[in-house]
């Protein structure tokens, strides 16, 4: 039985302000993996975390890129393997973030961390830099107060999670022996409720796609061509409406083939959770109503049912003022969350 070092709680208290300051430094780096203009920022975030690994006593610190993706974002690997006979933990996380748009929705700048009412607000604070930093500082605190770790530790941090994680998938397939472990710890999820952490045993997968509709060969003036020129946005709207019923059922043929429902034990465990649907709707979503397949509970819909969502519809004129154009093309960005055994 491993005991927590007696000095560890005091060490955490004494260094809490420093840890928060360092986390803010990481959050200030706009490591947006979806935008090529932020490639230098991706390198900065990688270097920042590599230095954290060195400072805490990790070894074999490596900047990794699968040979098939030389232009991808680098992985960061580090380990400490001096606990013979003890289990090996592999910590996984990611240092890239999504774009902060729309900026008008932010109360404070997304890359200037701000504490309000005891909460830290910044892009990446909860997905996933905050969790990664908690892992790093937990290991560091144990090392500093005990001089060694009770288990072997490996870190694998990626910079492409927000764009599909192709690089980490390639690396794991090619170097699974180097990543051998007894337990992989992924902290890219959330507490179920304040003071109630969750132990997640699985997440839905995802397919991301873009629907493109081509209309006329160029943008046209609606005063001259309206009524005869095909409008790609109208066609796109019909396509999108046809993907899902008003009851939330996805209408793509074969979409639900092989979808496995949660078992009785899972459903019973979920029922025991302290979940208030009205509070969830009002406080978490800020919505007047909940949508989706009403024959399933909210937790079933968010944890065990596949979904299809529309994220954006680029095309045409969207700037301030007016421009009565019939666009040449329109597109929609969509994603589908998938459950085990589903092969859409």
Average pLDDT, the chain: 95
Catalytic residue (choose from 41, 79, 96, 160): 96
Phi then psi dihedrals of residue 333, to 5 deg: -95, 125
pLDDT at 1 over 80: no
The pLDDT assigned to 318 comes to 86
Judged against a pLDDT cut of 80, whether residue 95 lies above it is answered with yes
pLDDT over 80 (residue 94): yes
Least confident of 104-108, 144-148, 164-168: 164-168
Kindly report which listed range (14-18, 29-33, 281-285) carries the lowest average pLDDT score. 281-285
Catalytic residue among 160, 161, 162, 219: 161
CB 20 within 8 A of CB 122: no
Indicate the SS3 state at residue 44.
helix
Q: What is the pLDDT of residue 24?
A: 99
Say what percent of the chain tops pLDDT 90: 87
Residue 243 in this model has a pLDDT that exceeds 90: yes
CA nearest neighbour of 158 among 89, 69, 58, 37: 69
**How confident is the model at residue 239, as a pLDDT?**
97
Residue 73 is among the residues annotated as catalytic for this protein: no
Told to judge if 96 belongs to the known catalytic residues of this protein, a careful annotator would answer yes
Mean pLDDT of 114-128: 96
103, pLDDT greater than 80: yes
pLDDT at 62 over 80: yes
Alpha carbon distances (Å) from 256 to 248, 293, 336 = 13, 13, 12
DSSP 282: I
Measured N-to-C along each axis, helices 129-146 and 39-55 cross at an angle, to the nearest 10 degrees, of 20
Q: Are 204 and 299 in contact (CB under 8 A)?
A: no
> pLDDT tier at 335 (50, 70, 90 boundaries)?
very high
Residue from 95, 93, 42, 47 nearest 71 by CA: 42
Question: Is 308 a residue whose pLDDT tops 90?
Answer: yes
Residue 69 pLDDT grade (very low, low, confident, very high; cuts 50, 70, 90): confident
Cβ(187)–Cβ(93) under 8 Å? yes
Cis bond upstream, residue 102 (ω within 30): yes
Whether residue 344 is predicted with pLDDT greater than 80 in this model: the reply is: no
Q: Which two tokens stand for residue 125?
A: 């604070």
pLDDT at 195: 87
Ordered by where they begin, the domains of the chain are 8-186 (3.40.630.10), 205-338 (3.30.70.360)
In 144-277, beta strands by DSSP E: 152-158, 183-186, 205-214, 220-221
Please tell me the predicted confidence (pLDDT) of residue 198. 86
What is this structure's pTM? 0.81
CB 316 within 8 A of CB 327: yes
- pLDDT, residue 177, reads 92
| pLDDT at residue 91, as a whole number | 97
Q: How far apart are CA 40 and CA 35, in angstroms?
A: 11
């Amino acid at each position: 039985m491993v005991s927590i070092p007696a000095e560890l709680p005091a060490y955490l208290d004494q260094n809490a302000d420093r840890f928060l300051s360092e986390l803010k430094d990481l959050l200030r780096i706009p490591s947006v993996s979806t935008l090529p203009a932020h490639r230098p920022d991706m390198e900065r975030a990688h270097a920042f975390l590599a230095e954290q690994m060195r400072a805490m006593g990790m070894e074999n610190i490596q900047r990794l890129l699968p040979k098939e993706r030389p232009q991808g974002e680098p992985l960061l690997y580090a380990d400490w393997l001096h606990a013979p006979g003890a289990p090996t933990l592999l910590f996984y996380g990611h240092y890239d973030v999504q774009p902060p748009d729309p900026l008008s929705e932010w109360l404070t700048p997304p890359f200037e961390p701000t504490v309000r009412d005891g909460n830290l607000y910044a892009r990446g604070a909860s997905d996933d830099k905050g969790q990664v930093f908690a892992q790093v500082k937990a290991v560091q605190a144990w090392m500093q107060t005990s001089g060694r770790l009770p288990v072997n530790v490996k870190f694998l941090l990626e910079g492409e999670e927000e764009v599909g994680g192709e690089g980490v998938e390639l690396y794991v397939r090619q170097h699974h022996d180097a990543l051998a472990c007894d337990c992989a710890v992924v902290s890219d999820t959330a507490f179920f409720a304040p003071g109630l952490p969750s132990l997640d045993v699985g997440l839905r997968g995802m397919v991301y796609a873009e629907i493109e509709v081509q209309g006329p060969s160029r943008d046209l003036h609606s005063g001259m061509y309206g009524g005869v020129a095909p409008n790609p946005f109208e066609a796109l709207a019909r396509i999108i409406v046809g993907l899902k019923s008003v009851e939330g059922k996805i209408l793509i043929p074969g979409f639900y083939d092989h979808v496995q429902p949660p078992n009785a034990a899972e459903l019973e465990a979920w029922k025991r959770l302290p979940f208030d649907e009205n509070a969830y709707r009002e406080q978490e979503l800020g919505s007047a109503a909940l949508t989706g397949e009403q024959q399933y509970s909210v937790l079933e819909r968010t944890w065990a049912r596949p979904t299809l969502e529309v994220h954006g519809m680029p095309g045409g004129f969207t700037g301030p003022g007016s421009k009565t154009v019939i666009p040449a093309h329109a597109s929609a960005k969509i994603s589908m969350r998938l459950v085990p055994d589903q092969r859409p």
